Amino acid sequence: MTEPGDLDDEELLNRAHQLRLLALRGHAETRRPARLHEAEVRRRFGAPTTVSASLEQGAARRRPFWRFW
């Protein structure tokens, strides 16, 4: 099997997706290759994190100053 680092971007994404599907369906021998391919995808494209998320607050809901029972 070709190493994940030797694949081009599109082939890497396709293979990582296919390996993950097989691993989720119970093929134990595809778990490690799926992890290796996904690690390479994260290395190339970066992982989405909350560190780079914007700090904008959502619109606050106005509440009445009394509580309706």
pTM of the predicted structure, to 2 decimals: 0.65
- The pLDDT value recorded for residue 4 is 84
- The pLDDT value recorded for residue 57 is 62
Q: What does the pLDDT look like over 24-60, one tens digit per residue?
A: 999 999 999 999 999 999 998 887 655 555 556 666 6
Q: Is the pLDDT of residue 22 over 90?
A: yes
Structure tokens at 14: 């396709």
* Domain annotation covers residue 50: no
Count up the domains in the chain and report the number.
1
Can you tell me the distance from the alpha carbon of 41 to that of 29, in angstroms, rounded to the nearest whole number?
20
* Domain annotation covers residue 69: no
- The domain containing residue 26 runs over which residues? 4-45
CB 48 within 8 A of CB 16: no
Can you tell me the distance from the alpha carbon of 10 to that of 8, in angstroms, rounded to the nearest whole number?
6
* Domain annotation covers residue 55: no
What is the C-alpha R_g of the chain? Answer: 21
